[in-house]
Amino acid sequence: MKPKLLHQEAMDYSFKAKQALEQGKQTSAFEFYLQAAKLESQVAEFYFDKPDLEPTRSFMIRSAAFLNIKAGLIEEAKRFIFFGLLNAKDSIIKDQLNNALELAVSFGNMHTDEASREFNYINLLRQRSIHYVLEPANLAYGYSVSLEMIKDFSESYLKSIKAYAISKFKKVVTIGHKIDREFGKEIDKIINPLVTSSAYGSFKFSIANDFLSREGESDDVLDLKANVVTKYHSEIFVNPLDDSDIELIKSDFSEDEINEIFRPLTRIKANSAPYKVGYYDSEDFKKKYIGKIVNKQKQKLLIVKPITQEDIGELESSIIHIRSSADGKVHKTTIRKEEMKRAEFDYDTNQIEPKDFAPIILTEKVLLNVLFTSETGFTISFQDFRIEHTDIEFEKTLKAFYDAFYLKIKRLFNISEKSEEEQRDWDAIKRLIGNPEAIKD
């Protein structure tokens, strides 16, 4: 027996299996992996009683374990995993064997070919994945990330990537395809990023979209679906939004599309967000943090749709039948009236008007975010400065927000040693007010 030759032959079969998977030939890939696992198992067994041949022995044990999992031979894989965990000296190999054990346990009740397909599908998904990390913006609870943070991130991320996908799909679907509610439902099914791994510290996770060809999908749609996460990540999610980037975005997307894609990101990338988002660069695997979206970028990128005081006062949807009588009178009949449960819009202003003080003229317009819910009323916030106020009536909320804004400036001015967050707030104010020092006790 020549273990080096057998190992090389096993690697050749493994390479052929990988090629077959990339071509969508699942059955051929399964057969190649069976051959590779059979050969590599012989090699690993040869090294069982040769502890003096480390680290080669541990490398062969690890290789045999993973090839058997790829072939769906779970019990055989466990034999090598347990041997390696008991005898391997290298901590990295032990970590990898622990990961292999976790996979082997999860596939334990599957039929051989089913386990093989599942492992290789997950493996290919992981190769296509973008790796993110959520970290708390402050360490009040250590490095732990709350479910609220995860929920806030995932909801905003999904809204944004689905809007991006709809825009891209419009360019590749068959001409005449109706872009309607049904099409939106179709996108919901197609664009559904899968969590391919997760870990604590703070909260690391990887995501990728399904890449398998489904019934009725054209090659263009399949390509877009398979690569939507990576394309969205590079084109949209990590885009620094310099002036040139914004101009390019405006040339590629309509005003409504830009609002749908980027408005959820202003929540994720807000200075007031309770978490930071990092990602691992695919080139050098270094962790990088996404930049914030500040007021100046929002002003250039998002379209502010004006909303009147009448709109703010009503916040309800109505179906009204209007008819004219013979004498010229107009009769209106309300068929259905329903209070809106949730509404969100921007309110732009160039001055802050506190109740008992002179107005503060800002050096640039700011976009205040206004969120209405039937449970809490209005919440007005300015994310660059991390300040918000909630009340039942819009005017009361706005006035109280102005007061809180003014008082926060005064408070920050009087703090001689500012924390990192307080300094960021103070820097934001200095960009908006020519002489913030004039506002003092």
48-76 mean pLDDT:
90
Q: Say whether both 398 and 426 belong to one domain.
A: yes
In contact, 135 and 145? CB cutoff 8 Å? yes
Q: Say whether both 348 and 432 belong to one domain.
A: yes
Alpha carbons 136 and 275: distance in angstroms, whole number: 4
Predicted pLDDT at 175: 43
Burial degree of 349 (CB within 10 A; 0-12, 13-18, 19+): middle
Query: Is residue 334 domain-resident?
Result: no
Alpha carbons 422 and 19: distance in angstroms, whole number: 54
Query: Is residue 33 domain-resident?
Result: yes
Query: Is residue 335 domain-resident?
Result: no
Query: Is residue 207 domain-resident?
Result: yes
Q: Which of the listed ranges 86-95, 199-208, 397-406, 412-421 does the model predict with the highest average pLDDT?
A: 397-406
* pLDDT mean across residues, the chain: 83
pTM of the model: 0.66
Angle between helices 56-70 and 74-87 (to 10 degrees): 160
Predicted pLDDT at 308: 57
Hey, what are 9's tokens?
């032959």
242, 272, 301 - which closes a domain: 301
Predicted pLDDT at 176: 44
Q: Say whether both 230 and 174 belong to one domain.
A: yes
Q: Say whether both 293 and 161 belong to one domain.
A: yes
277, 301, 325 - which closes a domain: 301
Residue among 374, 384, 420 at smallest CA distance from 405: 384
Hey, what are 124's tokens?
């290919």
Number of domains in the chain: 3
Burial degree of 94 (CB within 10 A; 0-12, 13-18, 19+): middle
Helix (H, G, I), strand (E, B) or coil at 323: strand
Hey, what are 171's tokens?
């360019």
Identity of residue 189: K
Q: Say whether both 159 and 262 belong to one domain.
A: yes
Q: Say whether both 150 and 269 belong to one domain.
A: yes
183-206 mean pLDDT:
76
Pairing of strands 275-280, 130-136: antiparallel
Q: Over the stretch 308-352, which tens digit does the pLDDT of each residue have?
A: 555 555 556 566 667 766 666 767 776 655 555 677 888 889 899
DSSP 273-294: -SEEEEEE-TTT--EEEPPP--
Cβ neighbors of 213 (< 8 A, separation 6 or more) are 24, 222
Query: Is residue 324 domain-resident?
Result: no
Hey, what are 433's tokens?
């007010």
HSE-CB of 29 using CA atoms within 13 angstroms:
23
Q: Say whether both 49 and 37 belong to one domain.
A: yes
Q: Over the stretch 150-176, which tens digit does the pLDDT of each residue have?
A: 999 999 999 999 999 989 888 776 544
User: What percent of the chain shows pLDDT beyond 90?
Assistant: 34
Query: Is residue 201 domain-resident?
Result: yes
Q: Say whether both 239 and 209 belong to one domain.
A: yes
CA distances in angstroms from 51 to 15, 83, 114, 273, listed in the order given: 29, 12, 35, 53
Query: Is residue 415 domain-resident?
Result: yes
Predicted pLDDT at 126: 73
Query: Is residue 50 domain-resident?
Result: yes
Residue 345 belongs to what domain range?
Answer: 309-315+341-438
Q: Say whether both 13 and 47 belong to one domain.
A: yes
For residue 195, pLDDT beyond 70 = yes
Element spanning 345, H or E: strand 342-352
Q: Say whether both 94 and 219 belong to one domain.
A: no
Q: Say whether both 166 and 203 belong to one domain.
A: yes
Hey, what are 381's tokens?
């916030």
Q: Over the stretch 234-274, which tens digit does the pLDDT of each residue have?
A: 999 999 999 999 999 999 999 989 999 999 999 999 988 99
CA distances in angstroms from 56 to 7, 46, 49, 104, 375, listed in the order given: 12, 11, 12, 23, 64
73, 108, 127 - which closes a domain: 127
Phi/psi for 363 (5° steps) reads -75, -15
Q: Say whether both 284 and 251 belong to one domain.
A: yes
